[in-house]
Copies of this chain bind each other. A is one copy, B any other.
Amino acid sequence: MSKKPFILLTNDDGIAAAGIEALFHELNKVGEVAVVAPRNEMSAAGHAITLSDPLRVSEYRKGPEFFGHAVNGTPADCVKIAYWAVLKRKPDLVASGINLGSNTGINTIYSGTVSAATEGAILDIPSFAISLGTYEKPDFRFAARFGRKVAAHLLEKGLPRGIYLNVNVPPCPEDQIKGVSITRQGQAVYKEEFDRRKDPHGRTYYWLTGQKVNPEQEIEVDDGALAAKMVSVTPLHFDLTQYAFLEELRSWNLKP
């Protein structure tokens, strides 16, 4: 390739987060990186897009190298507006992350980080999301290097239309990482707790909090791979159709 690959980098922790900066510096080694990311933290934004409010784009700079555009929207908004209005040419790759906290199992569907990669795949650009499985004292160095490795593979091999990758990195020191597992999305669900409180005016409010119940332990599952200190790489797609049930449903008498 004579031209340097062009990489769109976004996230959902916001443009000022340490995770996106770590990935920026590594991706810079394999291509030209354009950062278009949410101005604010958008965790659990899901695949939201902003239709009712105008979007604004501003320049953002941090240190001598890190430059990008901040958007008052969601990760999916960022990919859309980057592609259709901000960038001068079509990216060769969309990278999203590094997210603080894993995006495995059922969390995949709530994840703004993943939704940005989904949006890249919709635009037929090889895309991946990458998350680090901790909220405490994150060390993004290994995850960022692994992200560069994934980026290099995707730039070389591409991905079939509609497929994108969800990468999760265990938070242990690099010399303890046991390898890479190609995984499916875990299906363990949450037992939610709504923490019920009274505000100073006597009104009730709730905080959502919960625990994943019995995540799968097999290393062929994203949760299980992380628990076994392996990097999890899950191929995703955005076709939610459950094909196996089409025939059963056709046997139902749903005539109006």
A interface, CB within 8 angstroms of B: 41, 43-52, 54-57, 74, 76-77, 80-81, 83-85, 106, 108-110, 115, 118, 122-124, 142, 145-146, 149-150, 153, 157, 160, 162-163, 165-166, 174, 177, 179-180, 182, 184-185, 187, 189, 192-194, 196-197, 199, 203-208, 231, 233-243, 245-246, 249-250, 252, 254-256
Query: Please, which residues of chain B bring their CB within 8 A of the CB of A194?
Result: 55, 80-81, 84-85
A187 partner residues in chain B, CB cutoff 8 A:
162, 239
The CA-CA distance from A232 to B83 in the complex, in Å, is 32
A55, A153, A160, A165: residue with the most chain B Cβ atoms closer than 10 Å = A55
Q: List 23 A-B contacts (CB under 8 A).
A: A44-B49, A46-B76, A47-B109, A50-B208, A54-B197, A54-B199, A54-B205, A54-B207, A56-B204, A56-B206, A77-B208, A106-B122, A160-B245, A162-B187, A163-B242, A180-B255, A184-B246, A185-B240, A234-B241, A235-B242, A235-B246, A237-B240, A238-B240
Contact of A44 with B51 at beta-carbon distance under 8 Å, contacts A122-B106, A243-B184 already known:
yes
Residues of B within 8 A of A118 (CB): 109
